[in-house]
Structure 1
Amino acid sequence: MNSTLKISLKKEQLYLGLLTSLLFAVSVFAQSSKSKENKRPNIVVFLVDDMGWQDTSVPFWTKTTEFNKRYHTPNMERLAKEGMKFTNAYATPVCTPSRSSLLTGMNVTKHGITNWTSPYKDNNSESKDQQMVPMSWNMNGLSSVPNISNTAYATPFPQLLKDTGYFTAHVGKAHWGSMGTPGANPYNLGFMVNISGHSAGHPQSYLATDNYGNIPGKASVQAVPDLQEYYGSDTFLTEALTLEAIKSIEFPIQNKQPFFLHMAHYAVHDPIMGDKRFEQKYLDAGVDPIEAKYASLLEGMDKSLGDIMDYLKKKGVDKNTIVIFMSDNGGLSLVPPRGGIENTHNLPLKAGKGSVYEGGIREPMIVKWPGVVKPETVANQYVIIEDFFPTILQMAQIKKYKTIQEVDGQSFLPILKNPNFVDNSRSLIWHSPHNWRGVDGPGINYYSAIRKGDWKMVYSMRTGKKELYNLNDDIGENNNLSAVNPDKVKELASILSNELRKNKAPIPNFKSTGKPVPMPDETP
């Protein structure tokens, strides 16, 4: 063999050796990265629509209420035993503002989606009002694309999860944006799977015998998409969505990929339709027929929670899965569609959905995180739905990320690690500058509110009246202390007004003068 050939062979052997070493190093690095990635927790946000603070057998107060005794939610009880209850958890009075705050971490005053969004683009969903002029607000909802008219342009956290290796799935109600805008489609907001999420905010029907509304000639924009395989069966909508949610996470579990599941039920939003699996026992107990249907919607939702938890355990991933339970606003208390007497369905909390009083904004919230959250603990520190954004990213170990928007939410991870955590310096703010459904009620239509510590101030834009309550002593907001504590009113009015101004929150004008509603610190 000549010397030239020997040198050539040696070079080939050297290159082959280097290539083999490089491939081995890449393989080790990939396995190491995959192993590290697999340790990141799976995250399930279980979001219920219109569920009130007491619409469960789990008490979120210092005592069990009569409503807690009515309802049967054993899987919520199970989740509470395995995790932490939050007794002072808040959302906004209606759905789209809450859902947008959850996805973006922005307070409602900042994202300007201050009412529910119509399925139709550029359609103002607020009802006509005799006193106020319709105003400009982000009526088309949330958008991940800039320069879409009347939208809040922001970075949704599912996109950040997806970008860092999470499998992201949305199942159920979306209601983030109007048809013809990017926010109408969950795929544009960072989700890799979307089942039944679109521009509408409630189902046309919960019944598979109605094809969930998809009957030719009878279908409306509220007809629930993507569930054709269940048509004509006896599969209630809540059950169908649960089955689809379980299917959606099979792939990441099999491939050992961390996943985020946004399980967003249409239940318990109207139309109030009975889930036959559970309805009869409430009727037998003497519950009002409409309320028996409502209770069955709740119990069907609870079964869904249990089914998902059981599946996670069956697949051996429950120890590395965080489950966060939340509602998007307080329980509906208008009659109809509820049965009984109006504004009684959330007592002792005042009012219900649409109101800035506690009945419209205080929510049932539970967090289970094995190895981090001590089981059967209770946190009394107040939190709000925009806090989910930074918390979930912190849970997912995403430390450096860029967002289009400034994030208002604060991580509640310190609370999860210490249920006795207290911060009374923080202010929570609500802003509902609309006529929501054409009827006035307690704290409904043209109200703002602020909570700091135990103190809460409610501001009426119609009258300029400011009410002050101490929630620690008066959870029902029955004793207005504004006259005896004017300094606290002044303090809270100043904070609220400054936030409204800073965030350029939508403010209506009076028809009589054409002038904008005064800020809380501008009225006596």
Structure 2
Amino acid sequence: MKTSKKILLGSLLMMLSFSMEAQKKPNIILLYADDISARELPIYGSDTWSLPKGGKLKGGDTQDVKYRAKTPNLNRLAQEGVFVKTTWAATVCSPSRAMMMTGRYAHLHKWWHNSDKGKAPNGKGSWNLYDSSPHSIANVAKAGGYATYWAGKTQMSIAGFQFDEGCFTPGEGSYNKEIHTTDFRLETRKETGKKKIFNADTGKQLTQKSYVQSGWYWKPHVQLMNHPDSKEHLEWWPNDKASEKEFGLNTFGPDVELEFIFDFMERKKKEDEPFFVYHTSHLGHDAFDFLHPDSGNKWPGTPKISWDGKKYTRTAPNVTGDNGVYDTHGTITEDGIHNHVNYLDYQVWLYMNKLKEMGIEDNTIFIFCADNGTSGYGKSSPVSQRGTHVPLIIYAPGLHMTKKGAQDVLVNISDMLPTIAEIAGVKIPDSYEINGESLIPFLTTNKKKHREWIYAYHKETQIVRGDLVMKDGNNVWYDVSANPTDLISFPKIKDWSTVSEAHRKERDELLGIIPQFNLHETAHDAPKGGYGKVAPLEKK
């Protein structure tokens, strides 16, 4: 990308606006939630959201406020910072995470869908992101002088990314393997020549539909990477007598992640080193409910929390039992994605308290977003923007932003990497293709628009929209010039003579953009020899 005068001005404003007392660069925390549509957050004003899917409930859409999330802290950050009305990711986890990690679309990194990844140059296995796109989000932060930490879900090989430390739930390689720390996992076993899925906790075969998984919520699988108290590069936790004594049915994976993140932040603050935290929370993702194995729950409950208008109070979990028969003693919520969103809000509150306690709130940029639409509603859907429309909140009290509150602009998840590069003072070489665009010029100048169009992909299909029209993965066109109350029911364009000339002009412009990315059929796999030598990152 070529550096414009506006980008240079934005960089200058950013450098001048941050406090230089403790360190030269702002800390960055990127909280990347899992399978949460924008409509699940009240700040987006949707009149419809998702039902739980367990017990007597059948899932689907609802307008019942009982199942609407309550997010007082995310609401505050969105109003005091900014939140973007239309942010797109890809339609499902792996390609969205690839977009986030690389700042590129699938025509380059070749992760077209969860089960549709291009082969590596040698023709064996899928192409690792750090090989297809060596200037990853971690490498960019590292080049900018940041200590880097990755916590939560990985869904990819971690070896080639420049993260200094990590806390993974479940850890890399935990699928379908017996990990000594916990039996909360689903595993395959062969019976009469056929593979079947069993609950390792009960020893019973599953009667409901599910997939092989290690537990990442209650009694989770946790793996540490390069923790200073660990003896190995990757080590299963609990890893000493103290943690083994505390670990058990009342251990909640998202809590463990945050404890290790805070430990990392404190250590880097003492070392006077700026940090980048990449927190890929599982919250929002459906999972097998080991505490209620026969319930069919889609989103296992979280510890109970309550908000009194100023602070959260968390009820300490009290779970007893064994072998699939458990009593939660009323300390854990019912299932439902709204409870996951609520718990994310609680964790954001903890983040903000920690930043204040450490005296670094004004020198930290906090970003909240998600990887794709809600499971059962948008996840893996090419229809309209069901799968692609995700929340995005940016809170940076030390950055003198020229924007505040709701922003009716277009943003893509690929924009996070170049934004972080600019914050870190790192120049991505012009010869290295990046599809994302830095948000800093929009946030810090009088620039009115961020992007003219946004793009996403779903396997071999292309999804694209501008300010007026959108084409989904089924080649259906919509008029998106006004936002419907449910954020999704845009009028379909069946007769182009019924819309304005501006609509038709934008359609033609979008059709001209698609061919450069529509390479699923002609360049599905990595080119032989890869992309060749890549110019290094540079400090600005």
Structures share fold, TM-score greater than 0.5 = yes
CA distance, structure 2, for counterparts of residue 214 and residue 480 of structure 1: 43
Give the equivalent residue in structure 2 for 1:165. 145
CA distance, structure 1, for counterparts of residue 37 and residue 173 of structure 2: 17
CA contact (8 A) 2:469 2:477 kept: no
How do 1:335-374 residues align onto structure 2 when only pairs under 5 Å count? Answer: 343=377, 351-372=378-399, 373=401
**Quick one: structure 1 residues 317 and 276, their matched pair in 2 at CA, closer, same or farther if it must change by over 3 Å?**
closer
CA distance, structure 2, for counterparts of residue 156 and residue 265 of structure 1: 19
2:355 maps to which of 309, 312, 316: 312
CA distance, structure 2, for counterparts of residue 61 and residue 414 of structure 1: 29
Give the equivalent residue in structure 2 for 1:102. 100
SS state of the match for residue 50, structure 1?
Answer: coil
Letter in 1 for 2:128: L
Letter in 2 for 1:144: Y
SS state of the match for residue 410, structure 1?
Answer: coil
Larger mean CA deviation between 48-57 and 60-69 belongs to: 60-69
Structure with more strand by fraction: 2
CA distance, structure 2, for counterparts of residue 305 and residue 401 of structure 1: 31
**Quick one: structure 1 residues 503 and 251, their matched pair in 2 at CA, closer, same or farther if it must change by over 3 Å?**
farther
CA distance, structure 1, for counterparts of residue 73 and residue 463 of structure 2: 33
Give the equivalent residue in structure 1 for 2:374. 331
1:479 maps to which of 487, 491, 494: 491
Letter in 2 for 1:189: F
The answer as to 2:53 corresponding to 1:40 is no
SS state of the match for residue 249, structure 1?
Answer: helix
Give the equivalent residue in structure 2 for 1:254. 270
**Whose radius of gyration is greater, 1 or 2?**
1
CA distance, structure 1, for counterparts of residue 38 and residue 200 of structure 2: 35
CA deviation after TM superposition for structure 1 residue 218, in Å:
2.8
Larger mean CA deviation between 407-416 and 315-324 belongs to: 407-416
How do 1:145-156 residues align onto structure 2 when only pairs under 5 Å count? Answer: 145=131, 152-156=132-136
CA contact (8 A) 1:169 1:193 kept: yes
CA deviation after TM superposition for structure 1 residue 95, in Å:
1.1
The answer as to 2:234 corresponding to 1:218 is no
Letter in 1 for 2:146: Y
CA contact (8 A) 2:421 2:428 kept: no
CA contact (8 A) 1:142 1:154 kept: no
CA deviation after TM superposition for structure 1 residue 370, in Å:
1.6
TM-score, length-normalised on structure 1? 0.67
**Quick one: structure 1 residues 376 and 470, their matched pair in 2 at CA, closer, same or farther if it must change by over 3 Å?**
closer
1:76 maps to which of 74, 88, 94: 74
**Cα deviation digits, residues 391-449 of structure 1 (max 9, x gap):** 01111222x3449841111111122125872256x33222212xxxxxxxxxxxx5321
Larger mean CA deviation between 413-422 and 303-312 belongs to: 413-422
Letter in 2 for 1:305: V
The answer as to 2:462 corresponding to 1:448 is yes
Any gaps of 5 or more consecutive residues in structure 2?
1-19, 50-61, 188-197, 202-211, 216-220, 224-236, 288-298, 307-313, 316-331, 498-503, 526-540
Q: CA RMSD in A?
A: 3.9
CA distance, structure 2, for counterparts of residue 199 and residue 233 of structure 1: 18
CA distance, structure 2, for counterparts of residue 505 and residue 225 of structure 1: 38
Letter in 2 for 1:379: Q
CA contact (8 A) 1:387 1:411 kept: yes
- With a CA cutoff of 8 Å and minimum separation of 6, indicate the structure with the bigger relative contact order: 2
CA deviation after TM superposition for structure 1 residue 91, in Å:
0.8
- How many aligned residue pairs are there? 399
How do 1:51-200 residues align onto structure 2 when only pairs under 5 Å count? Answer: 51-59=36-44, 66=63, 70-116=68-114, 125=115, 136=118, 140=126, 142-145=128-131, 152-175=132-155, 177=156, 184-185=157-158, 187-196=159-168
Any gaps of 5 or more consecutive residues in structure 1?
1-34, 117-124, 127-134, 146-151, 178-183, 282-288, 334-342, 344-350, 434-445, 508-524
Letter in 2 for 1:275: T
CA distance, structure 2, for counterparts of residue 169 and residue 99 of structure 1: 16
SS state of the match for residue 359, structure 1?
Answer: coil
CA deviation after TM superposition for structure 1 residue 330, in Å:
1.1
CA contact (8 A) 2:85 2:408 kept: yes
Letter in 2 for 1:303: Y
Percent sequence identity over aligned pairs: 21
SS state of the match for residue 517, structure 2?
Answer: helix
Structure with more helix by fraction: 1
The answer as to 2:406 corresponding to 1:378 is yes
CA deviation after TM superposition for structure 1 residue 136, in Å:
4.8
CA contact (8 A) 1:109 1:500 kept: yes
Give the equivalent residue in structure 1 for 2:417. 389
TM-score, length-normalised on structure 2? 0.65
Give the equivalent residue in structure 1 for 2:16. none
CA deviation after TM superposition for structure 1 residue 156, in Å:
0.9
**Quick one: structure 1 residues 472 and 200, their matched pair in 2 at CA, closer, same or farther if it must change by over 3 Å?**
farther
CA distance, structure 1, for counterparts of residue 520 and residue 113 of structure 2: 20
CA distance, structure 2, for counterparts of residue 225 and residue 76 of structure 1: 27
**Quick one: structure 1 residues 155 and 68, their matched pair in 2 at CA, closer, same or farther if it must change by over 3 Å?**
farther
